[in-house]
């Protein structure tokens, strides 16, 4: 049985594609790529059909991550097939929980940085879109830091499904 994770930000061209790429690489390096499916989406359709922001692509490439991405909008119906929906900030968390058809679906939504034990206070990954390249580097760093905890949690869930 495949465990499905979807990362969600605003337009699906900056934060969520970065998170998708980083987490997919972690899943593959742990040999879980046959068991865990990773993708991303946005809460809105502003960039639907577009590739990731060139700055996101560049930062990912420089750090050795692959990205083949087309932006799309998250749909309420997806909750039925997803095991975990990972929001990049508290605004996305609220929007996704409102969109969830059931309380069980709403419980599938978690903030990415909630998986980073070193993160305290504000758990949002700031939107780098309106800033410079350094914001994309900061986003990547936050995503990488949270990915270890997220991977441990997903591994536990996957092993629970297999058992």
- The active-site residue out of 9, 24, 113, 139 is 9
Q: Are 24 and 38 in contact (CB under 8 A)?
A: yes
Whether 116 is catalytic:
no
Secondary structure (DSSP) of 10-67: SSSSSHHHHHHHHHHHHHHHTT-TTTEEEEEEESS-TTTTPPPPHHHHHHHHHTT---
- The active-site residue out of 15, 24, 26, 55 is 15
- The active-site residue out of 4, 45, 110, 127 is 127
* CA-based nearest residue to 47, from 74, 73, 17, 15: 73
Whether 89 is catalytic:
no
Whether 15 is catalytic:
yes
Mind telling me the catalytic residues? 9, 15, 127
């Amino acid at each position: 049985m495949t465990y499905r994770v979807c990362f969600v930000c605003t337009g699906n061209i900056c934060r969520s594609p970065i998170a998708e790429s980083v987490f997919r690489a972690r899943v593959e390096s742990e040999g879980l790529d046959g068991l865990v499916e990773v993708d991303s989406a946005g809460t809105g359709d502003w960039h639907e059909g577009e590739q990731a922001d060139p700055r996101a692509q560049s930062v990912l490439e420089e750090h050795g991550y692959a990205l083949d991405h087309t932006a799309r909008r998250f749909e309420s119906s997806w909750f039925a097939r997803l095991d975990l929906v990972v929001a990049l900030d508290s605004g996305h968390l609220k929007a996704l929980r409102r969109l969830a058809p059931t309380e069980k679906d709403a419980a599938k939504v978690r903030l990415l940085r909630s998986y980073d034990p070193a993160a305290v206070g504000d758990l949002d990954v700031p939107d780098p879109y309106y800033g410079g390249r350094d914001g994309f580097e900061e986003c990547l760093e936050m995503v990488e830091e949270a990915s270890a905890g997220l991977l441990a949690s997903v591994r536990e869930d996957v092993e629970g499904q297999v058992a």
